[in-house]
Amino acid sequence: MFPKNTWYVACTAEEIDAKPLGRKICGENMVFYRGEENRVAALEDFCPHRGAQLSLGFVRDGRLVCGYHGLEMGCQGQTVSMPGQRVRGFPAIRSFPVVERYGFIWVWPGAPELATPDTIQHMDWYDNPEWAYGGGLYHIACDYRLMIDNLMDLTHETYVHASSIGQKEIDETPCKTEVRGDQVITSRYMDNIQPPPFWKMALRANGLADDVPVDRWQICRFTPPSNIMIEVGVAHQGQGGYDAPNDQKAYSVVVDFITPESDTAIWYFWGMARKFKPADKALTASIREGQGKIFAEDQDMLERQQQNLAAHPQRQLLMLNIDAGGVQARKVLDRLLAQERKQVGP
């Protein structure tokens, strides 16, 4: 139920600095490690000798060494050597196209001949001194499309995140949904309101008053297969809202990479890129902690939703105006999946 001829975030660069990492991506068991010249490699997590998980081994001189009998693998999946044995004739195991970019390791689980790194989404905030970034990873037991629905409809903030970013004006302000090619954009602008607790903190952090009316915005941008960037922020009312100068607003981008593990589980890479006080490391840590708690609330809701849907597969769900972003994102995914099926053939 997920496209495979596309790039997914598999892990962060830090996750494979010391040892191999085993991770299931789109139903494929993979092992990630740094091979020769510190380049990232991704192989099938299956030793061709006895079927052990290669991720339980270690890296030596750029080769992945199986932790069971010492068989050594090259970065293209070929068997290189084994103590006291002649193994050069072993058939190669599967290797996956992999790219290190923006602090993440991206993998292509589909047909390798179709992989083009140029299609990886550009991140303006990465390695930019005007921005700061902090994030984390959750493993969530839900269909990846449920998380897309969640992020493309932020009215749930009023209820799930009432103590941090939720407020009644989100319910009261209609959102607009646009489709531009494969991208789906849902936007909501709330003028002349009081900031909720999280944004009061952000205003103070940027040296701005937190007890005056603000204009608030939420712009959710879905890009297939499952990347969502959400522009969020508040500006002192009357200063231009989204277009206000930096010294009159607190502006961030919520970064969401949703990588399917299976039909009912995901790796959720979350974070926030902040365009105010970028050198304040304590602020980055504080926002990361607060955001982590917010997404933990989503995790609980989504896992229980998945359990409920699994228990009642025959039930038809209602669609409201607020669901437009998620509905359009699913249409894009359905079209891409149909294209893949046509490429593979019967």
Could you give all domains of the chain from N- to C-terminal order, each with its CATH number? Answer: 8-119 (2.102.10.10), 132-341 (3.90.380.10)
> Which tokens in the block code for residue 324?
């437009």
Residue 40 has pLDDT above 70, yes or no: yes
pLDDT digits (tens, 9 = 90+) for 289-307: 999 999 899 999 999 999 9
> DSSP 3-state assignment of 168?
helix
| Band of pLDDT at residue 318, cut at 50, 70 and 90 | confident
Q: Burial of 56 by CB count in 10 Å (0-12 exposed, 13-18 middle, 19+ buried)?
A: middle
Q: How far apart are CA 178 and CA 2, in angstroms?
A: 23
Query: Quick one: pLDDT at residue 74?
Result: 87
Residue 224 has pLDDT above 90, yes or no: yes
Residue 346 has pLDDT above 70, yes or no: no
pLDDT digits (tens, 9 = 90+) for 141-173: 999 999 999 999 888 888 788 788 888 888 888
Q: How far is CA 161 from the centre of its chain?
A: 20
Residue 43 has pLDDT above 80, yes or no: yes
Mean per-residue pLDDT of the chain: 93
Residue 89 has pLDDT above 80, yes or no: no
> DSSP 3-state assignment of 174?
coil
From its phi and psi, is residue 164 left (phi > 0), alpha (psi between -120 and 50) or beta? alpha
Residue 336 has pLDDT above 80, yes or no: yes
Q: How far lies 205's CA from each of 155, 263, 277, in Å?
A: 26, 41, 8
Q: What is the rounded average pLDDT of the residues 44-63?
A: 93
pLDDT digits (tens, 9 = 90+) for 170-206: 888 889 999 999 999 999 999 999 999 999 999 999 9
Residue 310 has pLDDT above 80, yes or no: yes
Q: How far apart are CA 326 and CA 191, in angstroms?
A: 24
Query: Quick one: pLDDT at residue 212?
Result: 95
Share of the chain above pLDDT 90, in %: 76
Query: Quick one: pLDDT at residue 345?
Result: 57
Query: Quick one: pLDDT at residue 320?
Result: 80
Q: What is the rounded average pLDDT of the residues 117-125?
A: 93
Q: Burial of 266 by CB count in 10 Å (0-12 exposed, 13-18 middle, 19+ buried)?
A: buried
Which of these ranges, 118-122, 215-219, 272-276, 316-320, has the smallest mean pLDDT? 316-320
Residue given tokens 């390798």 in the structure block:
112
pLDDT digits (tens, 9 = 90+) for 90-109: 888 999 999 999 999 999 99
Q: What is the rounded average pLDDT of the residues 75-81?
A: 86
> Which tokens in the block code for residue 296?
């933990």
> DSSP 3-state assignment of 101?
strand
Q: How far lies 70's CA from each of 32, 49, 54, in Å?
A: 18, 10, 10
Strands (E), the chain: 8-12, 21-25, 28-34, 40-44, 58-60, 63-65, 72-73, 79-81, 98-101, 104-107, 132-140, 176-180, 183-193, 214-223, 227-236, 249-262, 265-274
Query: Quick one: pLDDT at residue 45?
Result: 97
